[in-house]
Amino acid sequence: MKLDPFYLIVDSAAWIERLVPLGVKLVQLRIKTMDEAGLRAEIRKAKALCAQHRCQLIVNDHWRLAIEEGCDFVHLGQEDLQTADRSRIRVAGVRLGLSTHDHIELETAMAAEPDYIALGPIYPTILKKMKWAPQGVERINEWKRRVAPVPLVAIGGLNPDRLDGAFAAGADSAAVVTDITLNADPQARTREWIKKTDRWR
């Protein structure tokens, strides 16, 4: 499986409506706190928007709702992986991406036979407090050797100026949140990411 090198992560269908039409081909909907009815509506709207623009939607955490709404890709963190029904996810034909931050988590993730592995944070990140120090691009190279041929996603503190190093170290895709969503001009920054990652597409 080949992932688009530009992996956008947003917390609402409104962001998808705003940015995916610019040419985004891989987006994760990551909503942490919302009631089920709200989540279902967001997933449904995001799915329709992504289908319209031929963009791959990945639903974070909410694998049951993703299956019920006919989505075909979910992303789980390590805690969610422990409680998820992986056989049900597979029977539904849903692909699976997993987060990793250290060697133990990598072993756990690889045992689940994921469709991609994410490593982070590569650089310091303001998105959330993490107990892990920044991994650095050197860790990307190590992870790539251990997970290949499974695609590797780099995440955490990335911006267009840091992409060359991440991809040279072995990343197949670079995930971004705040570099776009907190930018003064998110649309322009999205276009910059698309252009910058074009050579790896």
134: domain CATH number is 3.20.20.70
pLDDT tier for residue 186 given thresholds of 50, 70 and 90? very high
Upper half-sphere CA count for residue 186 (Cβ side, 13 Å): 18
In this prediction, residue 132 carries a pLDDT of: 74
Which of 14-28, 101-115, 127-141, 173-187 is least confident? 127-141
The answer to whether position 17 is within a domain reads yes
In this prediction, residue 127 carries a pLDDT of: 62
pLDDT tier for residue 125 given thresholds of 50, 70 and 90? confident
The answer to whether position 12 is within a domain reads yes
The answer to whether position 1 is within a domain reads no
Length of the chain: 201
* Number of independent structural domains in the chain: 1
Higher pLDDT, 113 or 126: 113
In this prediction, residue 67 carries a pLDDT of: 98
Reduced 3-state DSSP string for the chain? CCCCCEEEEECCHHHHHHHHHHCCCEEEECCCCCCHHHHHHHHHHHHHHHHHCCCEEEEECCHHHHHHCCCCEEEECHHHHHHCCHHHHHHCCCEEEEEECCHHHHHHHHHCCCCEEEECCCCCCCCCCCCCCCCCHHHHHHHHHHHCCCCEEEECCCCHHHHHHHHHCCCCEEEECHHHHCCCCHHHHHHHHHHHCHHHC
pLDDT tier for residue 123 given thresholds of 50, 70 and 90? very high
Q: What's the chain's average pLDDT?
A: 96
In this prediction, residue 133 carries a pLDDT of: 81
Please write the tens of the pLDDT for every residue from 141-175. 999 999 999 999 999 999 999 999 999 999 999 99
Range of the domain at 33: 6-200
